[in-house]
Amino acid sequence: MKKLIAIIICFGFVLSVTAAYAAPVGNIATPSTLKKGIIYKDEAAQFAVVAGGEVDLTWDQNLKRQDNDTEYYLYGGKIGVLIMDRFMPYAILGAAEAKKQQFNINSNKIKWETDYDFVWGVGGTAMLYETKLEGMGNGTLRIGVDGKYRQSHLKVDKVVRDGVSYNTSDAAVTQSKYELEQWQVALAVSYQIDQIIPYVGVKYSDATGEAVTKIDGLSYKNDFENEDNVGIFVGGDILLNDSFTANIEGRFIDETALSLGATLRF
């Protein structure tokens, strides 16, 4: 049974990389793969600080009432605490912008374009199961979960109504707002062979919030709702040493996105 699971993981990883974009849940194996820090090198330590950077490029958020592919780009960092090489609560800080956010509202097409603005979030990763497998490269199979919440209140740069563009400083625009909250929970399986750690999983996510504007006295509002709540993701880590990993990951079905990241244990 264990060998069958490992085969499915590897096959799913190879197939998905050729068929999908990539992005961020994160490798659930991270709490167990970073064995020692660059400063505090005791492998028996029960606690450690980790930090890293992440680029999240979403080309299609698959939101209800969208008129085209809605784009969302985030550049940020993550800092957390490793607990007993099993758990990792973390915080997310960064900046994001929303592009091509065009929605059908009543009989109009309204598009919001934002500047980069502050984003924050919290989350946690927990590794639930780990075992060594004979054969299949004599690797390590891990199963874990990840959950996160992310919030962005972005400054609107301009609004487009039926092809006519308005800067938010124009007299015709008396109100503009873009607020987005996202949360997700994910279940993943990884398989480590030496320094290579591919993984695959399924996630449930949701988006709430609203985009609002008032042009020439007419109000327009879009409440964010996901078109699909369930998605899948694939990815992989390269363990450069016992303290540092580099990551590439993808999620799709509920969205189409790509993320690149790195994590360092101190």
Check which CATH number belongs to the domain holding 32 and give it.
2.40.160.20
In tens digits, the chain (266 residues) has pLDDT values of 444 344 333 433 333 333 332 338 889 899 889 888 988 888 788 899 999 999 999 888 777 888 777 788 999 999 999 999 999 999 999 999 988 888 999 899 999 999 999 999 999 999 999 999 987 778 999 999 999 999 999 999 999 999 999 999 999 999 999 998 989 999 999 999 999 999 999 999 988 889 999 999 999 999 988 888 999 999 999 999 989 999 999 988 888 899 999 999 99
Q: Determine contact, residues 72/61, Cβ cutoff 8 Å.
A: yes
Q: Please report the pLDDT score of residue 116 as a whole number.
A: 93
Q: Determine contact, residues 131/141, Cβ cutoff 8 Å.
A: yes
Q: Where in 136-195 does DSSP place strands (E)?
A: 140-154, 156-161, 164-167, 173-192
Q: Please report the pLDDT score of residue 257 as a whole number.
A: 92
Whole-angstrom distance, CA of residue 54 vs CA of residue 266: 18
Report CA Rg, the chain: 21
Q: How many CB atoms lie within 10 A of CB 138?
A: 10
Give the count of domains, the chain.
1
pTM given for the model: 0.83
Give bridge partners of residue 215 from the DSSP assignment. 173, 218
Q: Please report the pLDDT score of residue 178 as a whole number.
A: 93
Q: Please report the pLDDT score of residue 17 as a whole number.
A: 33
Whole-angstrom distance, CA of residue 138 vs CA of residue 6: 11
Q: Please report the pLDDT score of residue 63 as a whole number.
A: 79
Supply the range of the domain harboring residue 221. Answer: 2-265
